[in-house]
Structure 1
Amino acid sequence: MKTTNLVVSILALCVLSISYGQRKKKNPVQIQKETISQTPKLVVGIVVDQMRYDYLTRFWNQYGEGGFKRMVNEGFNCKNNHYNYAPTSTGPGHASVYTGTTPATHGIIGNNWYDKALGKDVYCAGDDNFTSIGTTSDAGQMSPNRMLTTTITDQLRLHTQKRGKVIGVALKDRGAVLPAGHAANAAYWFEGGEMGNWITSSYYMNKLPQWVTDFNASNVVESYKKTWNTLKPIETYVESGLDINNYEGILKGAENNAFPHDLPAIWEENMGFDILKATPYGNSITTDFALAALEGEDLGADTITDFLAISFSSTDYVGHFFGVNSKEVEDTYIRLDQDLARIFTALDEKVGKGEYTVFLTADHAAVNVPSYLMDSKIPAGYLDIKDMEAKFDEFLQYKYGTTDVVKDLSNYQLFLDHKILTNLDIDIKEAQKDMAMELLSYEGIGRVYTGYQMWENEYTEGIPYILQNGYNPKRSGDVLLVPNTGYISYSRTGSTHGSAQIYDTHVPLLLFGKGIKQGSTVNRTEIPDIAPTIASLLGIAFPNGTTGEPIGEVLEFKSITVD
C-alpha cells in the first residue's frame, strides 16, 4: 500500500513539473526596464527676445497649426514660468537659460556693466583679444569670456567628446555667443549697415565655412528690402491698439507710424540693412540662416546629439520701438509663427519627426508703454533721471563734500568708490544705507536695497529674492534701486524691460518632441530649470553652476520590455 502511494506521488510531481515547464515556455517572464535618457538627434533651443507669456494667448487665434499651436498641442506648456532675478535683459537672459543659474553665479549681470576691477564699462560678449571674421569692422570681436560657468551646450560637447556639434544663431551677437557656450563649434550673428552679412569671431574659426560664404553671396537678405505691410488684413488685428497713435516711435524719414512701412524709401536714413532688425523680416532672415546651418553643418544626421541654439532678436527691436500694444508687434508674432512652422517642417524632413527635441522661451518680457497705461487710468510713469542725478549730486556734496564717492550708475545699481570713502573715514555699510535712504525719497523709486543686505540676508521670496539672484558680489553695485510698478527710465514711446516686476519676468516655456510629454502646468517654473531639464533628458551632466531643478512633469522616459 505504501509503495503504491509513493509511485502515485512521484507521478503527480512529474505531471506538475511538466505542466509548469509548459506554462513557463508559453508565458516567458517579461521585465520592464525604464530608459534613463533620451537621445534625440538634435536639440533646438529657441529664445524669443522680449516675448511676454500673454503673446501666446493674446494672438492665439491668429496663429496657424504648425508653429506655436503645434508646440502647445503636441508638447508641454509651462504657463507660470518666470525669471527669478533682475535685471531682466538680453545678455543675462540668454546666459541664464543655458547655464541653469542666475547672474549671481554665471556673472552676466547686464548687457553692459561697470567693471569695478577695470574701472570702465564692459560689454557682456565683448572681447578685443579676438578679431572679426566675415567683416572688416570690429563687430566680430566677441567671445563668451565673461560668462563664468558652463552651459548645457558645453556639457553636451564634453559628454560626446566634442562629437556633438553646437551652433548658435542670432541677429544679436550676445544672442548667439552666450547660448552657444565656451566650447561651441560656431556662433554667427548679423551685421547690418551696407553689407547685411552673417559674421563670427576668430574665437571660433579663422574663416567662414563655405555654406556661410554662399549664403552671404546669395540674394536671400536683399530680398527683404521691401515694404512691410501686415500679413493679414489690418482690420483683423483686433488684439492690438490703433495703428496711428502717440505711443509708438516713428522711423527716420517716415511721415507717421502707420502701416505700410516703406522700407526702401527710408533705407539710407536708417542705416541700410539695420532697419530690417526692427521688422519681422529680421526673424525671417534668422530662420533662413538657421535652416542653412541645419543643412550646411549636417545637424541631426546621426545618433550623436547636436544642438542648434536660435535667438529671434527682431521681436525685441519691434517691441522697443513700437510698444507692447502695437499692430507691429501683433504682425511680428503672426509672421514669427510662420517662421517657426518652417523650422519644424524642415526638422521633420531632415532629422525626422520624433527624432528631435525643441524648447522655446524668452530672455525677458516687457512693460506696456507707461504713457498708454497713464491715459488708460492705470498707475504708471517715467523716472526723471536728470532731475534725480542733480538732486543726488547735491546730497553727495552736502554729505561727503564731493560727488567722487560714486563711480557709476547702471542697471539701476549705484557703484561707490570704496577707496575714497575709506580715505574719508566713512564706513561703507553706513554710506550704502545713507544713500539708499536718500534715493528712496525720490519720486518713482519704490524700494532700495544695499549690497550689505544682499550679503547678510538670504531672501526666499518677493522682490529682494529676485534682486539677490541677480547680485554678484564681485560685479554688482553697492545700492540697488527698484522703480515703482509701471515706472521706467525710457522714452515716452515704445516698451522696455529690465525690472524685477512680474510683467518683465513672466515668459513662455514650451517644449515638444522626443522625450517630452503632452500637457501643461500652472505650477511655478523658473528659467534656471530649463538647462537641468534638458540635461536630465539627455542623461548628461548639469552645467557646473546649476541652481535650477529639472521639471520632472515635462519628461517622458519610455519603458522597454526585456524577455
Structure 2
Amino acid sequence: MVKRLGIAAAIAFLGIFQVSAQTKLERPKLVVGLVIDQMRWDYLYRYYDKFQVDGFKRMLQQGYSFNNVMIPYLPTVTAIGHTSIYTGSVPSIHGIAGNDWTDKETGKSVYCTTDTAYKGVGTTSEKIGAHSPRNLWSTTITDQLGIATNFKSKVVGVSLKDRASILPAGHNPTGAFWFDETTGNFITSTYYMQDLPKWVDDFNAKNLAKELVSKGWNTLLPIEQYTESSRDDVPWESLLGSATKPVFPYNNLPADYDKKKGVLRTTPFGNTYTLKFAEASVDGYQLGADEITDFLAINIASTDYVGHAFGPNSIEVEDTYLRLDRDLAAFFKMLDKKVGKDNYLVFLSADHGGAHSVGYLQENKMPTGFFGEGLKKSINEELEKKFGAAGLVMEIDNYQVYTHDKLIAEKSLDLDDVKKAIISHLQKLPEILYAVDMTEIGEAPIPEPIKTRTINGYNWKRSGDIQMVTKDGYLAYYAKKGTTHSVWNSYDAHIPLIFMGWKVKNGESNKPYYMTDIAPTLAQFLKIENPSGNIGEPIVEVLGK
C-alpha cells in the first residue's frame, strides 16, 4: 500500500512538473531589429526576381509581411524614424523632432544625440564621440525589455550612424556603437562605458573596411541585367569620391578610402561592414546564448547614403540592394547556427523612404521641382518691409518656419500678424500646397492624413511654428543631385515591415498599419510593458491571437 502511494505521489509530482514546464513563460532568445535606411516598400518587389532565396525572399516566404505600413508623422527623417519604431510613439511625445532642430531660445542648431557631457571612446574626435540618448523623452522597447528582466537582458545598438545606433538602443543598453570616419573603426561614448570591449578592439584591428573596398565597386551582375534601373550615366547622380563620372566601375575607392574613410558609407560595403560588426557583437556579448532574451538593434545605413547620392532609380541603388540581399542571407545563416533557427525573432522595416530624383521625374514628364532655396532671406525681406524689423524668421528647418519670438516681442509686434504675413508669402509660392500656423492646425482646412501627421510631428518645444507642405514631387533645393526625403507622400512614408522567426507563421496582409505599431507588437511577443509614450496598437495578425 505504501509502495502504491509512493508511485502515485511520484506520478503526481511528474504531472505537476510537466504542467509547470509547459506553462513557463516562453520568449525568444534573441530579438533582432533590422531597420534598412531609406528602404521604400516597393524595393521588395522591384528587385524581387534578382533576389536570392535566403535573404529578402526568405523573409517574405517564411515570415509575415505587411504591405501597407505608413509613417504617421512629419518630417520623415532618420532620427525620428528609428525613435518612432522603437518607442511606438511620435515626435510630439518622444521629443526627437528631427535629425536636428533649432533651439528657440538661442537660435542654434541642436543635433539629436549630441551631448558634450560625454566623450568618445575609441576616438579622439569630440564631434564624432560626444553622444548620448539624453534628448529622448520616452522609453524604447529595448528599455522595456531591460526593465522586464531586471536589466539582465543584453541590448546592443549598431549602425554607421550615431543616431541610428543610440536611439534604438534606448537609455540603458549594454552598448551602442557607431562608425568613426576618421579611423574606419566602430566606437562608442563614455555614456555607455569607459573603454571599448576587447571584442570591439579585436574587430577594429582587422581593418575589414579597407579590405572590403580594396577591389573597388563594380556591379554584382553584368550591368546590362539591371533592367529595373535607369541608364548608368545620368546628370542627376552625384559623384562618388574622386570619380569623374557617376558610372561603374568605381576603381577609385581604395585610394579614396585611404584618404577619407567616410567614403565607405556611400557603398554597399558599409552594409557588409555593419553586419559583420553585428555578428561580432553576437559572439562578443554572447547574445542569444541563454534563456534571457537579448536584443540586437541594427541599422543598415549605406542604403541611405547611396540613395541620397544617386537616387532610387539608379543602378547603384539596385546593386546595393542585391548585395544587401546576400549579406542578409549570410547573417541569417549565422543566427541559425549560433542562436538556432527557431530561437530568434527578427523584424525588418525602414526609417523612411526616398523620392525619385527631380531629373528622373523631369525626363519622364512627372510633376516635380525644387523648393526652399533663398526662402528664409526672401521672407525676412518682405517682413522687414511690412513691420520695419529685420530677422523676424529665426530659421527654416524640417519644412518648418521658426519665428523669432523674442525679437518680435522686443519690437512690440503682434506674433499672429507676423505669422499671417509669413503664411501669406508662402501661399504665393507655386510649389507650396499648404502652410499652416501650428497653433491653429486643428481648425486648418487640410485633409487627412496630412493633418494628423503634421500634429503628430509637432513638438511645441522643438519644432517650428509654421509647417510647410509642398506639392508632390518637389524636393528640397539641396537635393539637386540624387534624392532626399522628409514629406508625407507615399514615396517617403510607405515602408516595409516583415516579421520572421520565433512563433511567426508565413503570411501577408494588405491592411493599413503604422510604424508605431511595431513596438507594441514586440511587447506582446515578449509579454512586456509597452514603451512609456506608445500610441501604437499590436498587430494581431502576426501575433496569432
For the criterion TM > 0.5, the same-fold answer is yes
- Equivalent residue number for residue 539 of structure 2: 551
The equivalent of 1:439 in structure 2 is 426
1:150 and 2:145 aligned: no
Query: CA separation in 1, counterparts of 2:241 and 2:286?
Result: 41
Tell me the alpha carbon deviations over residues 119-164 of structure 1, each in whole angstroms, 9 at most, x when there is no partner: 3111001100001100111111100000110000000001000000
Report SS of the residue matched to 2:512.
strand
Distance 1:344 1:212 in 2: 21
Deviation by residue 1:250-286 (Cα, 9 ceiling, x = unmatched): 1242121111101346516x95221111000000000
Equivalent position of 1:409 in the other structure: 396
Whether 1:130 aligns to 2:145 is no
1:448 is aligned to 435
Please say which of residues 198-207 and 498-507 is displaced more in the overlay.
Answer: 498-507
In structure 2, what is the Cα distance between the partners aligned to 1:56 and 1:211?
34
Q: Cα gap change, 1:247/1:443 in structure 2, threshold over 3 Å: closer, same or farther?
A: same
In the alignment, does 2:465 pair up with 1:478? yes
Which of 261, 273, 284 is 1:273 aligned to?
A: 261
CA gap 1:434/1:219 in 2 versus in 1, 3 angstroms: closer
**Partner residue in 2 for 1:15:** none
Which of 278, 284, 287 in structure 2 is aligned with 1:299?
Answer: 287
Partner of 2:206: 218
The corresponding residue for 2:405 is: 418
Q: Which moved more, 1:180-189 or 1:455-464?
A: 455-464
Instruction: Provide closer, same or farther for how the CA distance between residues 505 and 37 of structure 1 changes in structure 2, counting only shifts above 3 A.
Output: farther
Say whether 1:241 aligns with 2:230: yes
Distance 1:77 1:35, change over 3 A: farther
Deviation at 1:455, TM superposition (A): 6.3
The aligned counterpart of 1:186 is: 175
Count of residue pairs the alignment pairs up: 524
Where do 1:89-488 residues align within 5 Å?
Answer: 89-138=77-126, 139-193=128-182, 195-226=183-214, 227-264=216-253, 266-267=255-256, 271-383=259-371, 385-386=373-374, 388-454=375-441, 461-488=448-475
Matched residue of 1:395: which SS?
helix
Q: Is there any run of 5+ residues in structure 2 with no aligned partner, and where?
A: 1-14
Letter in 1 for 2:54: G
CA distance in 2, matches of 1:211, 1:376: 50
Deviations 1:363-408 (A, max 9, x none): 000000012101211111112512x334322211112111222211
Q: Does 1:510 align with 2:498?
A: yes
1:458–1:142 CA distance, 2 compared to 1 (3 A):
farther
User: Judging changes above 3 Å, is the alpha-carbon distance between structure 1 residues 35 and 338 closer, same or farther for their aligned structure 2 residues?
Assistant: farther
Structure 1 stretches of 5 or more lacking a match? 1-27, 558-563
CA contact (8 A) 2:91 2:458 kept: yes
Corresponding residue for 1:14? none
**Residue aligning to 1:65:** 53
Residues 320-363 of structure 1: per-residue CA shift (max 9 Å, x gap): 00111000000000011111111110111011111110000000
Q: In the alignment, residue 436 of structure 2 is paired with which amino acid? A: Y
Alpha-carbon distance, 1:454 to partner: 3.4
- 1:252–1:266 contact (8 Å) kept in structure 2: no
* 2:57 aligned partner, one-letter code: K
Q: Which amino acid aligns with 1:555?
A: L
Give 1:418's aligned amino acid.
D
- Structure 1, residues 80-128: CA drift from partner, whole Å, max 9, x if none? 0110111101111110010000111111111011012443111001100
How far 1:36 sits from its partner (Å)? Answer: 10
C-alpha distance in structure 1 between counterparts of 2:25 and 2:543, whole Å: 10
TM-score normalized by structure 1? 0.90
Q: Cα gap change, 1:265/1:298 in structure 2, threshold over 3 Å: closer, same or farther?
A: closer
Distance in 1 between the 2:522 and 2:479 partners?
A: 39
After alignment, is 517-526 or 44-53 more displaced?
517-526
Per the TM alignment, residue 466 of structure 1 is displaced from its structure 2 partner at its CA by: 1.0
- The one-letter code of the counterpart of 1:370 is V
- Cα distance in 2 for residues equivalent to 1:228 and 1:533: 39
Q: Counterpart of 1:301 in structure 2: which amino acid? A: A
Displacement after TM superposition at 1:38 (Å): 4.3
Of 428-437 and 168-177, more deviation after overlay is shown by 428-437
Paired residues of 1:68 and 1:340 also in contact (CA < 8 A): yes
In structure 1, what is the equivalent of residue 512 of structure 2? Answer: 524
CA distance in 1, matches of 2:330, 2:265: 20
Provide the identity percentage: 44
In the alignment, residue 163 of structure 1 is paired with which amino acid?
K
Distance 2:514 2:23 in 1: 26
Question: Which segment drifts farther, 458-467 or 212-221?
Answer: 458-467
Partner of 1:497: 485
Separation (CA, whole Å) in 1 of partners of 2:539 and 2:87: 15
Contact 2:380 2:392 in 1 (8 A): no
Letter in 1 for 2:188: T
CA distance in 1, matches of 2:280, 2:271: 14
Root-mean-square deviation (CA), in Å?
A: 2.0
Taking the aligned partners of 2:164 and 2:295, their CA distance within structure 1 comes to: 15
**1:459: Cα distance to partner?**
8.3
Query: Paired residue for 2:11?
Result: none
8 Å Cα contact 1:459-1:468 kept in structure 2:
no
Q: What's the counterpart of residue 10 of structure 2? A: none
Give, as a single letter, the amino acid of the residue that structure 1 aligns with 2:211: S
Cα distance in 1 for partners of 2:256, 2:348 equals: 32
Determine the C-alpha separation between the residues in 2 that align with 1:491 and 1:67.
31
TM-score normalised according to structure 2 size? 0.93
1:75 matched to which residue of 2?
63
1:245 Cα deviation from its structure 2 partner: 1.2
Q: Secondary structure at the match of 1:257?
A: coil
Q: Counterpart of 2:83 in structure 1: which amino acid?
A: A
SS at structure 1 position matched to 2:469: strand
